[in-house]
Each structure stands twice: as structure tokens, then as C-alpha cells.
A = this chain, B = another copy of it.
Amino acid sequence: MSDNRPALGVGMVGYAFMGRVHSQAWRSVGAFFDLPVAPVMAVLSGRSKDRTSAAAADLGWAAVETDWKDLIKRDDVDIVDICTPGDSHAEIAIAALDAGKHVLCEKPLANTVAEAEAMVAAAERAAARGVRSMVAFNYRRVPAIALARQMVAEGRLGELRHVRAQYLQDWIADPDFPLVWRLQKDKAGSGALGDIGSHIVDTTQFVTGQTLTGVSGITETFIGDRPLAEESAGLAAGAAGAGSTGTVTVDDAALFVGRLSGGAVASFEATRFATGRKNAMRIEINGSRGSLAFDFESMNELWFHDHTLAAEEAGFRRILVTEAGHPYAGAWWPPGHGLGYEHTFSHEVKDFLEAIGTGSDPSPSFADGLRVQRVLAAVEESAANESRWTPIPR
């Protein structure tokens, strides 16, 4: 595509897990999608000059900054991509939006409802000036999840009755696993609830097109003390000797039930202690005319039961979501040649760039992120209050 499209410089903050996968998305998206704008991998920021420079070389960023405030100031940065822990999202996002940069922010949007509300306010101010913002619930861009939403919207499931959503991992089941930042409330806001529970809450609201109206739940921390990680050992002052431990200040697991605005009941579970389940982000929806089931561990499959068929020939069918007519899939490979985790980010970045290029509001918006945040807060409130039913403010 010889190119008179506007070029847009991207500045990314953070280069850990999320930074690496976002980089692959920025690097690849143009080769597969016809975009109205041309992204340029301009600047990477991180606190350590050396480590940031090495990461930039590996990942393909043209320049580096050691302070995200400097990144925001640069003229060659039009888009700020926030890949840091949740405790810094609000500050960076608000500053970037106020500086007129489009913002893609990792999820969960923030660590508290108050922060999220401030971010939504900033996003609304920015939108009035044509500046776009999006929260990175990447699972919306799994082709199978996008197809599920489409089928629900088309009425293929009829009236929805049940949602059953789980996000099951096992990476901290070992008590010797260290106290990383994701296990510290001040950094991460919450544990399994915010990190992975947020995904299934968002996916539920996205696929059903409905919102949660109330919840009741419990949370649990199975292992209260863990060895200090190297990083946190450093942070934990001089006293930390060999074998020293710290307190886990977030939930290991959260279980809750809820009701959706359209009348369905829903069951949620997020845990990092489901041994053998590596990244089982699952959702099943049962409606009067059919049902859908998905498990990210088999991300190229969507299972559909068409309840309008004769009982003698009905059953859950495995749709390989790799056909040209499926969401996103046509841009890649022939049927049956599946995609992987990273492609959800390529799709996210593609949709974000299209929204910027066409002047429309990308989705999920910061308001969508706030809506998830309110559900998480209600779960925590219920859990702290004898599991009492807790309505979600609109």
C-alpha cells in the first residue's frame, strides 16, 4: 500500500508481558489490515535507560524515554499505549488525553472506581476535541467471542437465561511462588478478581449486550504469605533476608452470582488456583433458542447449540472460527489455520486505528471500563458484607 495515509506515532509505556504483545500487534497490523492511518512505532518508555533501550531494540521501537511524562510531550507521539500496572493508569491516561493524545489503556481500567470515574471524565473532555480512548479488553477481539456477540445480537439464542463464566488459571497454586506485584493491593488493586475476573465481566456484558444489575459473592486468599520476589525484596527495605516473606493483600479467588439487565442469571468464578487450567477463560450462554460455549484454551472454537432444530439432530457444534466470513479471521489464513493469543491484540489495535482514522468512538470505551470496575467493587462490597446482594449503579 504505497502510502498517502496519515502516519500516527505510537508511544508505549511499559515493556513487560503486555508491552511485548502490544508491540507485536503494532508491528503486524499493517500487513494484514487495510488501515486508514499508518502506525509508526515511535517511542518506548521505561524507568531504566538500559533496559528500555534493549527492549526497544528487540521490539522495534525507534526511540526511548525514561519518564512517561516526556513521552507524552513528544510531537512524534500521537497515540499513548499504556501497558503498566493498574496503579499508574489514571495518572498517565488523564495526562495523555489532556495533552491531546489518543489513549489505549490496559485493563482493568483502574484500581478504584474513583480513578476510573476521573478517567471517564478525561475521556469525555478529550472526545469533545476528537481525541479517542479505549480500554484494552482484548478478549472482545477473539474471533469466536466477536462471533458470539453477533449471534446473540441476531437473536440466535432467543431470550437469554443463563451465563456461566469462569477464568481459571493455576500459576500461583505453588506456595513458593513469590509475592509479585500482581499479589499486592497497592499495585494491582485486587487479585484474581480485577486481573481476570474483569475479563469475564466485560466479556459477559459484551456478548450479551446487557449489563449486570447486581451481584453477591465471596473472595478467598488461600495462601496468606509468600516469599518476597526479587523486585519486592528490593522494595522491602534492608531487613529482608533470605527466606523472608510478605503478606498477600489481594484475593486468590472470587466467586459470585449476578443478574443481567435482560433477566438472565449468571455465575462467575475467577481463580489462580485451578490446577491444570492454564488460561481457561470460559463463557457459556443458554438462551431459549440456543446456547453458546467458549474456552480460550481452544480459542479458535465456538460451540453452538441450535435449539430450534429437531431434538434428534441437535447438539453442540464446534464452529472453527477461521472462515473468511468470521470476524477478523478473513485477514489471516485459510480455514482451519488457527490464530493465537497475540492476534487478539492485533485486532484491538486495528479497531482502534480505524476509529481514529474514521473519527468514531472506539469500543470498549473508558465508560465500559468503569462499568466493569463498578461490578468488581460491588463484588468486593458484597464479599465484605456477608455476601449480601449488592446492586450495580448504572
Over the window 322-337 of chain A, the binary record of Cβ atoms lying under 8 Å from chain B Cβ atoms (1 yes, 0 no) is 1101100000111111
Listed A/B pairs (11) with beta-carbon separation below 8 Å: A17-B334, A27-B28, A147-B312, A173-B288, A173-B307, A255-B257, A278-B334, A317-B317, A332-B342, A333-B342, A340-B342
Residue numbers in B under 8 Å from A318 (CB-CB): 315-317
Partner of A291, one of B28, B276, B290, B326: B276
Q: In this assembly, does A54 line the interface, its C-beta being within 8 Å of a C-beta of chain B?
A: yes
Closest B residue, CB atoms, query A382: B387
Partner of A286, one of B151, B275, B290: B275
**Known contacts A27-B28, A386-B389: does B316 contact A57 (CB below 8 Å)?**
no
A317 touches B314 (CB 8 A): yes
Residue numbers in B under 8 Å from A20 (CB-CB): 31
Q: In this assembly, does A198 line the interface, its C-beta being within 8 Å of a C-beta of chain B?
A: no
A286 touches B276 (CB 8 A): yes
Which positions in A face B, CB cutoff 8 Å? 1-3, 17, 20-21, 23-24, 27-28, 30-31, 53-54, 57-60, 147, 151, 161-162, 164, 166, 168-171, 173, 216-218, 220, 222, 253, 255-257, 259, 263, 265-267, 269, 271, 273-280, 284, 286-291, 296-300, 304-305, 307, 310-320, 322-323, 325-326, 332-343, 382, 386-389
Q: Is the interface of A mostly helix, strand, loop or mixed?
A: mixed
A305 touches B276 (CB 8 A): yes
- The distance in angstroms between the C-alpha atoms of A290 and B387, with both chains bound, is 29
Closest B residue, CB atoms, query A289: B275
Residue numbers in B under 8 Å from A279 (CB-CB): 334-337
